[in-house]
Amino acid sequence: MPANRCPNPNCEYFNRALPNNAKVCPWCSTPLGNVITPTPTRPVSPQPTPPQPTPPQPTPPQPTPPQPVQPQRPAVIPPTYQTPVDYSTEYQQRVPPYIPPVQPAYTPPPPRLPLLKLIHTTGREFQWSGEAGYIGRRSQSMTVPPEIDLTGLPNEGIISRRHARIYWDWSQNAYMIVDMSTNGIYLNNTPLNPGVQYRLLNGDSLQFGQDNLVRFTVYVM
C-alpha cells in the first residue's frame, strides 16, 4: 500500500511520506490520498507599483501691492490725576557717624594746703590757707586788703599795712614768714631779720612790735 502523501503543493509536507493511518496532513489538514503530481503554477508576475503622488511644490508668495500709507493721528492720552508725592516723608535724615567723646585728660586736684591760724591774746582768731599772702592792716589807699587783716585789734597802730609776707614752701612743707615792717616781728621772743624767711611751727609765739602789745599763738592744721 502506498504511503500517504500531502497533496497540497503549498504545504511543507507536500508529496512527503506521512503515516499510513494519517487521514489528513498534520500541517495543512488536507485530506490525504495517493500522490498527486503537482500542477505547475504560473509564475506570478510582479504587480506594478502604483505611482507615488508627487508632493506639491510650495507656491512662491505673490508680492502684495503696497497699501497707501494712512497718516497716523497722535494718540490722545487721557489725563490722569496723580496724588502729589510727600517728599517730606520720603526724606531720610542721615545719621552722622558716631564719634566717641574725647575724655579730658585727668588733672589731679592740687593738694590741700594746711590751715594757718593766728589766735590773739584776746581770743580773736584769724585763719588763712593759701600759697602766698600778707599779714597787715587795711587802709583806704589800699586796693587789695591783706589776706590776714588785723584791723580792729588793740594797739593796731604798731601794725604796718603789710607787716609780714607769708607763703607755703613745698620744699620745707611749712608756712614761712618774712618781716616787712618798721616795728619788727618777734618769733618765740627772738627778733627776725628783715627780708629773711623763717618757718612757722605749730604752737609758736608770734609778736608784732615791742612791749608784747600784739601777740599771737600760731596753729598749723
Domain layout of the chain by residue ranges: 1-38, 116-220
Of 118, 200, 120, nearest to 152 by C-alpha is: 120
What whole-number distance in Å separates Cα of residue 73 and Cα of residue 86?
Answer: 37
pLDDT greater than 80 at residue 161: yes
If phi over 0 gives left and psi between -120 and 50 gives alpha, with beta otherwise, what is residue 195?
left
N-terminal to C-terminal alpha carbon distance within the chain: 172
Residue whose entry in the numeric block shows the C-alpha cell 618757718: 199
155 pLDDT tier (thresholds 50, 70, 90): very high
Average pLDDT, the chain: 82
d(CA 121, CA 132): 25
Kindly tell me if the per-residue pLDDT of 115 is higher than 90: yes
What's the pLDDT at 158? 94
Compute and round to an integer the Cα radius of gyration of the chain.
74
163, three cell numbers: 607787716
Q: Are 5 and 16 in contact (CB under 8 A)?
A: yes
pTM of the model: 0.52
- Provide mean pLDDT across the span 68-88: 66
> What band does 200 get if pLDDT is binned at 50, 70 and 90?
very high
Residue 156, SS3 per DSSP: helix
Cell readout for 89 is 516723608
The closest of 147, 201, 193, 144 to 169, measured between CA atoms, is 201
In the prediction, which pLDDT does 145 show?
92
Average pLDDT over residues 158-176: 95
Residue 18 predicted with pLDDT over 90 = no
Pairing of strands 132-136, 148-149: parallel
Task: Pick 116-220's CATH classification: 2.60.200.20, 3.30.420.10, 1.20.1250.20, 3.40.50.10330.
Answer: 2.60.200.20
189 pLDDT exceeds 80? yes
Segment 48-57 shows an average pLDDT of: 65
Name which of 156, 94, 55 is nearest 148 in CA terms.
156
Digit-coded pLDDT (tens) for 208-219: 998 899 999 999
Res 1 pLDDT > 70: no
Asked whether the predicted pLDDT for residue 89 surpasses 60, the reply is no
Residues whose CB is less than 8 angstroms from the CB of residue 24 and which lie 6 or more positions away in sequence, other chains included: 30, 31, 32
Length of the chain: 221
Q: What is the pLDDT of residue 81?
A: 62
Rounded to whole angstroms, how far apart are CA atoms 118 and 45?
164
User: Does residue 2 have a pLDDT over 50?
Assistant: yes
User: In this predicted structure, what is the pLDDT of residue 35?
Assistant: 47
Task: Quote the CA–CA distance of 185 and 192 in Å, as a whole number.
Answer: 6
| Residue 59 pLDDT exceeds 80 | no
Q: Pairing relation of β-strands 174-179 and 205-208?
A: unpaired
Strands 174-179 and 162-169, bridge-based pairing: antiparallel
